[in-house]
Structure 1
Amino acid sequence: MYEKRIKTAYFREMLGSGLLYTVLLVVAVRIGRPMEPGMLRTLLLVSPMIGFGLMLWAIARHIGRVDEYMRRLLLESVSLGAGITAGLAVTYGFLENAGFPQLSMFWVWVVLCASTIVATVIRGVCRR
């Protein structure tokens, strides 16, 4: 029962912060990009980071709520995801030197999330 409650709380917090991020991102791109350079434009363009910060807060809260075994599994998966992301980033840096197109830094977060999910799934399958 406790596990279901903390899972529900985590999904609710992540969904809320993800929706806030998305709304702020759409507003920032639509309104902020065409604005004249200045402090207001800069603040508007970085405003989606509020939602991103809330996502990190939700993840930290979830890690604090789970038992020691799940905490260990989650942190190991995030560590593996970070290592995979670092390896891919360095590899792509060499590929850019070989003429591949430059990628936006926005891809780092996407790759980190995907790598963490892959690490979690593989580790879950291998433990069975």
Structure 2
Amino acid sequence: MHEKRVARAYHTELWVGIGVYAVLLVGSIKLARPMADGTLRTVLLLLPMLGFALAIRAIVRHVARIDEYQRLRMLESIGIAFAVTGALTFSYGFLETAGFPKVSMFAVWIVMCTSWVAVNLVRAWRSR
């Protein structure tokens, strides 16, 4: 029962953060793109990070709520995913020097999340 309550609270908080991020992202792009460079445009373009901060807060609160075993498993999964992300991004950095197209820093977050999901799927499969 406790685990379900913790999971529900986490998912609610996380999706609120993601929702705020999405709304602010769309709004900031619509408002800031046509603006001239300047402080106001920069602030508007960074505004979606408020939603991102809410998502980070949800994750931190979730880690504080879960038990030690779950926390250890999560830390191990994140550590493996970050190592995979480091290997892939460094490898592509070398490929960029060989003439491959430059990739946006946004791609690192996508690789990191994908790696984390993949690690968790493999670990779940192995523990069956």
Instruction: Tell me the TM-score normalised to structure 1 length.
Output: 0.96
Shift, 1:127, TM fit: 2.2
State how many pairs are aligned: 128
Unaligned runs of 5+ in 2: none
What does residue range 110-125 of structure 1 map to in structure 2 within 5 Å? 110-125=110-125
Aligned equivalent of 1:105: 105
Aligned-partner residue type, residue 55 of structure 2: M
CA deviation string 1:35-77 (max 9, x = no partner): 1111110000011111111111111111111111111111111
Aligned equivalent of 1:52: 52
Unaligned runs of 5+ in 1: none
Aligned equivalent of 2:70: 70
Measured on the aligned residues, the alpha-carbon RMSD in Å equals: 0.9
Aligned equivalent of 1:12: 12
Distance across 1 between alignment mates of 2:76 and 2:40: 40
Aligned residue for 2:104, secondary structure, equals coil
Aligned residue for 1:107, secondary structure, equals helix
Percent sequence identity over aligned pairs? 46
Distance across 1 between alignment mates of 2:92 and 2:81: 16
Instruction: Tell me the TM-score normalised to structure 2 length.
Output: 0.96
Aligned equivalent of 2:21: 21
Aligned residue for 2:101, secondary structure, equals coil
Aligned equivalent of 1:81: 81
